[in-house]
Each structure stands twice: as C-alpha cells, then as structure tokens.
Structure 1
Amino acid sequence: MDPTTNPLASYLPLAVVLLLAGVLALVIVQLASMLGPRRPSSIKSTAFEAGSESSGPARQRFAVKFYVVALLFIVFDVEAVFLYPWAVNFQALGWFGYVEMLVFAATLVVGLIYIWKKGALEWEH
C-alpha cells in the first residue's frame, strides 16, 4: 500500500504495536492468576506496613499541612522542570528569554514569600 493513497497506512505499525502490548498485558495477567500461588491465610490477609504492625484505622484523618507541603513541592518541582529547557536554550532565546524567565522566577518568589508569611512552611503551629 502506498502511503499517498491511504493516509492511515502510516499508522498501521503503531496500531500493531499497541495491539501487541495490550495482548501481552492480558496474557501476563492471566498467566499470573493461573500459575501464581493460592493459599490464603489470616496472616497473609492482614495489612502489612513496612514490617510494622498496623496502628490505627485505615481511614485516619490527616492534617491539612501534609497536603500543603505536597502541593508546594509540586509547584517548585514544576519550576525545575521549566528551568532546565530554558537553560539549555539560553543563548538561542536571547534577552527575551532572559526577561521571560525573570518574570517566571519573580512570580514564584512572590508565591514563596506569600506562603512563608502565611506560615505554610512552619511544621508546628
């Protein structure tokens, strides 16, 4: 088949790979369920937490500060993701790229100052 006559012909190899990946995933799951060990016991059914006995219920409430710290980590991690490609292309971007990154970094610094003043970085209140 000529790719000029059928525009979908170039996607055939991708479709074959996706189909093979799906079939392989199903085969692996099926083999694991058929060949895997099946001897349930009360000890195997208990919750295991890093070698320690479980303490407390599974539906325990956590303080909001855990989530705030996680969100702050994500925000500043995303900053690092944007900083690397900018540094690689720094010379090609010129002054416009430099000013863009200054605005981006200034926005993050303002956010950092705000959360610092709000006390989000203090662990104990």
Structure 2
Amino acid sequence: MFILITSASLILIISSLMMLISSILSKKTYIDREKSSPFECGFDPKSSPRLPFSLQFFLIALIFLIFDVEIALLIPLISILKISSTLYFWSIAAFFIFILLAGLYHEWNQGALEWAS
C-alpha cells in the first residue's frame, strides 16, 4: 500500500512539474501588433478578415446534429426486437419517437425552423 501511495505521489509531482515548466516556457514575452494582425501582401487589410456568420444557419445545423444523433440511437432498437417481447419493443420505440416529435414540435414553436424571417 505504501508503494502505491508513493508511486502515485511521485507521478503527480512529476506531471505537475512538467505542466508548470511547459506553461512557463511556452509563454510569449511580448505581443507584437504587427504579428497578431492579418497579413495581406504587406498592406493593411481593406475589410474585416472575419465574415459575418449566420446564426440561423448555426441553429439549423445544431438541430440537425441533435436529431441525427437521436436517430442513430434508434438503430439498436432492432437488436432489442430479437431479445424482448413485441410489446416491450413498441413501448420503447413509441416513447423514444414521442420524445423526438416533442423536441421537433418545440423547435417549430420557437421559430428555429423558420429560414426566411
């Protein structure tokens, strides 16, 4: 037990020292305005380098990602059908699809699916 505590303490001390040394060595000493600004063939940029991002597109992509993951969670229901009763399978499937439809209805009510507004 003593060897375990000693080795755990030694590993903790060594890893903490390594993180401390790497954070000290990796810090830049000064911030140069010229180096941190975008470079455009030696001239100052004409406009902002960042383009405006559509928040509506981001929300649609996020909703798609959530529903895509939830649909992927429906795939294991096929294996449940083989090992369980039909009533158990349909109750789980109906409950899961009900949650999906409730989420879709909520998003529709909130107006997140309205693209042209």
TM-score w.r.t. the length of structure 1 is: 0.47
TM-score w.r.t. the length of structure 2 is: 0.50
Of structures 1 and 2, the one scoring higher in RCO (CA 8 A, sep 6+) is 2
